[in-house]
Structure 1
Amino acid sequence: MLDDLDRRILRQLQADPMMAVPELAERLGLSSARLARRVERMRDRKILRGPRAVINWPALGYAVEVSLRVTLDKTQPRAFDEFIEAACEISEVVEIQTFLGRVDVRLSVIARDMPHYQLIYRDQILALPHIADIEALMHVARIKNDDSLPL
């Protein structure tokens, strides 16, 4: 699937995704055109999904992060679809994951402070459809946050 050159390119992009193409090409000993073709091929194959901004939420005043584990009322045929559609509308929900098992969905919610979180929870989260059970886990520290793969 990936050859050694593709892996070298991906390692460099994981280390510094903002590196300019000419600098990256020079580091890898490639021409800019050859590097561009390789990167485009990996985009076409959906290996590279494109650049993204990684936001430092606390720097923007969001000091509270809560993980909500939600169990849905699965007696309703559209419970998952309706819950997820409604949860996507809450701007403070920054991540939604689905699971197999007792917990069906996990929501990551950010808030400026605890009063702000309580407003979000009471006015928006508890209004989501088909909730059978919900458990809140207060985020204390992020020990490791690394999306890079050992290539």
Structure 2
Amino acid sequence: MLDDLDRRILRNLQGAPAQSLPDLADHLGLTVSRLSRRLEKLRENGVVKGTRAVIDWVALGYAVEVSLRVTLDKTNPRAFDEFIPAAREIPEVLEIQTFLGQVDVRLSVIARDMPHYQAIYRERILQLPNIADIEALMHVAKIKTSMGLPL
């Protein structure tokens, strides 16, 4: 389990992930070597899975986000196995989630504008296998988006 120092390290990484190891070590009152050992242990235990750049797709010209709730044809026992790999091949699909219940899959899709979305929907989404029903939810605003954990 995590001790207080691990939690402090993780809180600081969440707050300022781009800071250098020497700066982080200084802020935490640790040596760089001790911080490095702790971070390596957190990586080995799967707590820290790496770092990545968060790219603002709106800044790149994508203005539309649609959440598609998909119900699959459950008469086909391979419906999920055929649908998921095909959905992964669509570059504009940013996220795929599966659920238990009436809705089987949720796709988060981005597009430059509505004509671009319509083309993706008609030419790519509707061609996915085993779709029984789709409900589209147009994103209007993000009220809260957080990757941070309460540590």
Query: What interval of TM-score do these two structures reach, taking the shorter chain for normalisation?
Result: over 0.9
Task: Give the distance between the partners of 2:42 and 2:98, measured in 1 at CA.
Answer: 27
Task: Give the distance between the partners of 1:18 and 1:78, measured in 2 at CA.
Answer: 43
Task: Give the distance between the partners of 2:64 and 2:51, measured in 1 at CA.
Answer: 26
Deviation at 1:53, TM superposition (A): 1.3
Task: Give the distance between the partners of 1:55 and 1:111, measured in 2 at CA.
Answer: 15
Deviation at 1:52, TM superposition (A): 1.1
Deviation at 1:77, TM superposition (A): 1.3
Aligned to 1:76: 76
Q: Runs of at least 4 residues of structure 1 off by over 6 A?
A: none
Q: Calculate the TM-score normalised by the size of structure 2.
A: 0.99
Alignment RMSD (CA, Å)? 0.5
Aligned to 2:48: 48
Task: Give the distance between the partners of 1:147 and 1:5, measured in 2 at CA.
Answer: 20
Matches within 5 A, 1:119-138: 119-138=119-138
Q: Deviations over 1:34-78 (max 9, x none)?
A: 000000100011100101111111100000000000000111111
Task: Give the distance between the partners of 1:79 and 1:132, measured in 2 at CA.
Answer: 10
Unaligned runs of 5+ residues in structure 1 are none
Q: Deviations over 1:93-140 (max 9, x none)?
A: 000001111100000000000000000000000000000110000000
Aligned residues: 151
The alignment partner of 2:36 has SS state of helix
Sequence identity, in percent? 72
The alignment partner of 2:107 has SS state of strand
Aligned to 1:30: 30
Q: Calculate the TM-score normalised by the size of structure 1.
A: 0.99
Aligned to 1:149: 149
2:62 counterpart of 1:62: yes
